Chains A and B, each alone.
Chain A
Amino acid sequence: MLSPSLAFLIFFFLLPTIVFFIYSFLVSQYYRVEWQLTWDNYYRTFTTPVYLKAMLNSLRIGLTAGVATTLMSYPFAYFLTFRLKRGRNLVLFLVVISLVGSYLVRVYAWRTILGKTGAINSFLLMIGVIKEPLLFLLFSRLAVLLTLVHVFLPFAILPIMSSLQTISWDLVEAARDLGCNPLQAFLKVTLPLSITGVLSGFGYTFILSAADYITPQLVGGTSSAMIGLSITNQFVKVGNMGLGSSLSFVLLAVLVVAYMAIRFLARLAKLTPRQ
């Protein structure tokens, strides 16, 4: 029963990933690869300052966006799970819409809102708060972060919510009966029991943000150049697919290592429950 889908994923997911990986060891130019092995792509990946800077930028922006999104999502998911009685389905409906729908539209929305003649500036000019449009809003690192957090919030809210849902409130009450204050009960019971959701929510938003190639193009400035765009350009503008591939896999390795490090830190902080 698995075979059709498994065959499909092996042929169109595993195999392409392998081919893509092999490309990183091949010589390529003008959109063609030659079957000639080389380390040059990796050499250039690690020695070109522009790529190193963009890689670091992606890591930094991804981490900031991931942490911000997770921190914002937790109280939201907590309220949605434990407090909200009426309207919970409506809110959930809104969150799921933003999960599956309108990625591009929402990035575009921020571009029009933050722009020189955009909604925020024209509104502030209209009501007379400012005399000149604020130019620092668009094409800045702030704009990139604002957009990334907005776009990927549901990817943290949903996993956190689904792990909060499994917590039996009796456990929290038991902790209180045993003398914990609300904060202690939260730190010793609720948080460790929902840490899986927190970590996977962070994982999604961190990886999605760090590898986003659209947001930095639309709302970012030169200082917020991210590696996703450099990779894209190797394929659509430069035609050096080998270099694009080596950049991609170095990015992937950086993301996986960073995520593992965060998980390790969570375990050190004794936040993850022992098996």
Chain B
Amino acid sequence: MAASRALGRHPIRIPWLGIYFGLVILYLFFPIAIIALFSFNSSPAISFPIRGFSLRWYREILVSPVFLSALKNSLIVAVVTTAICVFVGTLAALGLTRYNFRFKPLVQSIYVLPVTLPGLLLGLSLLSFFVFLGLKLSLGTVVIGHLVYTLPYFVLVATARLERFDRMLEEAAQDLGCTPWQTFWKVDFPIIAPSIIGAAVIVFALSFDEFLITFFVIGTQSTLPMLVWSMMRMSIDPRVNAISVVLMVASMVLIYVLSKLVDLREIEL
């Protein structure tokens, strides 16, 4: 007993756990790797053996107006969603962590509920509502849809760090003669900025990739996931692989930036 405990914090040794861990990683990533591999295939078939590699599909999507306009729309939606989220969400995160008020648990549950509901129901209730209001479906309605889904995420991630914020620092700053405004910029802001930016990055990534809600509220325009959807339903189109890789690389870059800003272990659902 004593000997096994001397090995460290972990007296239980299960040799299979590491192998299992590797297998799950493989299961999570081999489908994506396959798509990436075939996006460089010189022939249109998505099957082995691979005869040669080329950038043909990437060149084709880069000159395709459909792809470029979908990319533009995706970027517009993600940027607008993120901007509104940061502004409105930061205020909400500050309000939720600093003040106690009546009905606080009720209010908090409104911020959690949209995360727990499936996209299908969020999308359909928004669609019914827009039809009810007589609102025309557009990128604007897509932004609204994305906000309903991302705002709770933003508030969740941003409040995680604010809750551990030491209020003594603010009092110290005010004792040393700072006005409330100065206190905010010199004390609060530098401390909360990384988690705000981190939360913003998550929102951008979620919005850029959102499909389940977008599908119902988009109308006639297209975003990248919508383009992937319409292309893959028609036939085997190797350009879908290239667009998929663009989407995956985008989320990789965003999460890499995120990992530099916040401890990824803080990401909670």
Query: Chain A interface (Cβ within 8 Å of chain B)?
Result: 1-2, 4-6, 8-10, 12-17, 19-20, 23, 31, 72, 75-76, 78-80, 82-84, 89, 91-106, 108-113, 115, 117-119, 121-123, 125-126, 150, 153-155, 158-159, 161-162, 165, 169, 173, 176, 182, 185-186, 200, 203-204, 207-208, 210-214, 218, 228, 231-232, 235, 241, 244-245, 248, 252
CB distance from A185 to the nearest CB of B (A): 8
B251 proximal to A (CB < 8 A): yes
Contact of A102 among B47, B87, B248, B267 (CB under 8 A): B248
Report Cα–Cα, A113/B37, bound state, in Å.
Answer: 12
Q: Please give me the residue from chain A that is nearest to B208 by CB atom.
A: A101
B244 adjacent to A2 (CB under 8 Å): no
A13 adjacent to B209 (CB under 8 Å): no
Chain B residues in 8 Å Cβ range of A123: 48
Known: A9-B110, A91-B25. A113 touches B31 (CB 8 A): yes
B269 adjacent to A76 (CB under 8 Å): no
Contacts across chains A and B counted by CB atoms under 8 Å: 253
Contact of B228 among A14, A76, A100, A104 (CB under 8 A): A104
Size class of the B contact interface (CB-based, 8 Å): 35 or more
Chain B contact residues: helix, strand, loop or mixed: helix
Known: A204-B269, A248-B121. A126 touches B49 (CB 8 A): yes
- A-facing residues in B36-89 (Cβ within 8 Å): 38, 45-49, 87-89
A111 adjacent to B232 (CB under 8 Å): yes
Chain B residues in 8 Å Cβ range of A102: 32, 209, 244, 247-248, 251
B244 adjacent to A211 (CB under 8 Å): no
Report Cα–Cα, A111/B52, bound state, in Å.
Answer: 23
Would you list the 6 A-B pairs with minimal beta carbon distance, nearest first? A101-B251, A122-B47, A16-B129, A211-B118, A1-B95, A20-B125
Known: A10-B110, A104-B211, A105-B244. A186 touches B12 (CB 8 A): yes
Report Cα–Cα, A202/B222, bound state, in Å.
Answer: 33
User: What are the interface flags for B153-175 relative to A under an 8 Å C-beta threshold, 1 for contact and 0 otherwise?
Assistant: 00100000000000000000000
Report Cα–Cα, A8/B84, bound state, in Å.
Answer: 11
Contact of A150 among B27, B95, B107, B254 (CB under 8 A): B27
Report Cα–Cα, A110/B28, bound state, in Å.
Answer: 11
Report Cα–Cα, A119/B12, bound state, in Å.
Answer: 39
Report Cα–Cα, A27/B19, bound state, in Å.
Answer: 57
B264 adjacent to A89 (CB under 8 Å): yes
Contact of B267 among A17, A96, A176 (CB under 8 A): A96
Report Cα–Cα, A104/B3, bound state, in Å.
Answer: 50
Report Cα–Cα, A249/B21, bound state, in Å.
Answer: 38
Contact of A248 among B88, B99, B120, B205 (CB under 8 A): B120
Contact of A211 among B9, B10, B120, B127 (CB under 8 A): B120
29 pairs, A vs B, C-beta closer than 8 Å: A1-B92, A2-B92, A5-B151, A6-B107, A13-B114, A16-B126, A23-B128, A75-B17, A78-B17, A82-B10, A96-B255, A96-B264, A101-B209, A103-B225, A104-B228, A108-B240, A108-B244, A112-B236, A115-B46, A117-B45, A117-B46, A117-B47, A123-B48, A158-B269, A162-B265, A162-B268, A169-B9, A212-B118, A212-B120
Contact of B205 among A72, A79, A100, A161 (CB under 8 A): A100
B18 proximal to A (CB < 8 A): yes
Chain A residues in 8 Å Cβ range of B126: 12, 16
CB distance from A145 to the nearest CB of B (A): 12
User: What are the interface flags for B215-234 relative to A under an 8 Å C-beta threshold, 1 for contact and 0 otherwise?
Assistant: 01000000001001100100
Report Cα–Cα, A108/B1, bound state, in Å.
Answer: 50
Known: A2-B107, A182-B12, A200-B269. A9 touches B125 (CB 8 A): no
Chain B residues in 8 Å Cβ range of A185: 12
Chain A contact residues: helix, strand, loop or mixed: helix
Known: A97-B255, A228-B120. A103 touches B269 (CB 8 A): no
Report Cα–Cα, A31/B252, bound state, in Å.
Answer: 40
Report Cα–Cα, A106/B111, bound state, in Å.
Answer: 28
CB distance from A225 to the nearest CB of B (A): 15
B138 proximal to A (CB < 8 A): no
B185 proximal to A (CB < 8 A): no
Known: A5-B91, A14-B110, A101-B248. A93 touches B255 (CB 8 A): yes
- A-facing residues in B77-135 (Cβ within 8 Å): 87-89, 91-92, 94-96, 99, 107, 110-111, 113-114, 116-122, 124-129, 131-132
CB distance from B113 to the nearest CB of A (A): 7
User: What are the interface flags for B180-204 relative to A under an 8 Å C-beta threshold, 1 for contact and 0 otherwise?
Assistant: 0000000000000000000000100
- A-facing residues in B2-29 (Cβ within 8 Å): 5, 9-12, 17-18, 20-21, 24-25, 27-29
Q: Given A20-B129, A94-B25, 20 other A-B contacts at CB below 8 A?
A: A1-B95, A5-B151, A9-B111, A12-B129, A17-B121, A20-B125, A31-B131, A79-B21, A101-B254, A104-B228, A105-B32, A108-B35, A110-B31, A119-B34, A153-B28, A162-B265, A173-B11, A186-B12, A232-B120, A252-B121
